[in-house]
Structure 1
Amino acid sequence: MTTQHSASLFGRRLRGARRQADIPQDKLGVQIGLDEHTASARISRYETGVHEPPFEIAQKLAKALCVPTAYFYCEDDDLAELVLAWERLPRSERKHLRKLVDTKLAGSLAK
Structure 2
Amino acid sequence: MPRALFAARLVQARELRGLSQRALGDRMGLGKDKGSSRINRYEHQVTAVGFDNLDVLAKTLEVPAAYLLAESPEMADAILALAQVNRSQQADLAEVIKRLSTEPELLDQLRALVNPKSGP
User: What TM-score results when the alignment is normalised by the length of structure 2?
Assistant: 0.78
**5+ unaligned residues in a row in structure 1: which ranges?**
none
Q: d(CA) in 2 for partners of 1:40 and 1:104?
A: 43
Q: d(CA) in 2 for partners of 1:8 and 1:98?
A: 28
Which residue is equivalent to 1:38?
34
Alignment counterpart, residue 12 of structure 1, candidates 8, 16, 26: 8
C-alpha deviation, 1:57, in angstroms:
0.5
Q: Is the 8 A contact 1:29 1:42 kept in 2?
A: yes
Paired AA for residue 81 in structure 1:
D
**Larger Rg over CA atoms:** 2
Q: d(CA) in 2 for partners of 1:50 and 1:98?
A: 35
User: What TM-score results when the alignment is normalised by the length of structure 1?
Assistant: 0.84
C-alpha deviation, 1:98, in angstroms:
2.0
Moved over 4 A (4+): none
Alignment counterpart, residue 65 of structure 1, candidates 36, 45, 61: 61
Query: 69-78 or 90-99: which moved more?
Result: 90-99
CA RMSD in angstroms comes to 1.5
Query: How high is the sequence identity, in percent, across the aligned residues?
Result: 33
Which residue is equivalent to 1:87?
83
Q: d(CA) in 1 for partners of 2:46 and 2:58?
A: 19
